[in-house]
Amino acid sequence: MRHDLLADALSAITNAAMAGKNNCIIKPSSKLINKIIEIFKREGFIADFKVIPNSRGGVVEVLFNGKMNKCAAVKPRFSTKKEEIESFEKRFLPAKDFGLLIVSTPKGLFTHQEIKEAGVGGKLIAYVY
């Protein structure tokens, strides 16, 4: 029984990347997982991804480029303000300006750099480096 699809998907991606595989299949998928993987691609952590729809929530195939060390879900989902994001950077990322925190806001998903520029807060969802 699955309780957190996002944590399962991100751990599958991390395990496949550490095993040296070229791709990873995530099933089932969700809109949140697709958006987070889209951010990974936009920021250059993965090469590409394909969403394959089916009757059970869909399947996502992620293709790696070797630039990802680790990605994981943040539990519990901490609420954060723009001013507090620096402390979460120190907590979850290995070095300053290395990696990303992904934050869910009422306006959508943003990285921690975009949160600082936009001046909004939200819930901390995941990190990648």
User: What is the CATH number for 28?
Assistant: 3.30.1370.30
What is d(CA 59, CA 64) in angstroms, rounded to the nearest whole number?
A: 16
Separation of alpha carbons 92 and 100, rounded Å: 9
120 vs 114: CA distance, rounded Å = 9
Q: Are residues 25 and 46 in the same domain?
A: yes
CB atoms within 10 A of CB 21: 12
Beta bridge partners of 49: 62
CATH number of the CATH domain containing 78 = 3.30.1490.10
* Residue 1: per-residue pLDDT: 61
pLDDT at 11: 96
User: Is 69 a domain residue?
Assistant: no
User: pLDDT tens-digit profile of 59-106?
Assistant: 999 999 999 999 999 999 999 998 999 999 999 999 988 999 999 999
In tens, the pLDDT along 36-64 reads 999 999 999 999 999 999 888 889 999 99
**DSSP states of 41-85 as a string?**
HHTTSEEEEEEE--TTS-EEEEEE-S----EEE-SS--EE-GGGH
Q: Could you tell me the residue range of the domain that residue 14 belongs to?
A: 5-64
Partner residues linked to 104 by β-bridges: 109, 123
Q: Tokens for 120, please give them.
A: 């909004």
pLDDT bucket at 9, cuts 50 / 70 / 90: very high
Domain boundary among 44, 64, 84: 64
- Structurally, how many domains does the chain consist of? 2
* pLDDT tens digit sequence for 10-28: 999 999 999 999 999 999 8
**Are 103 and 54 in the same domain?**
no
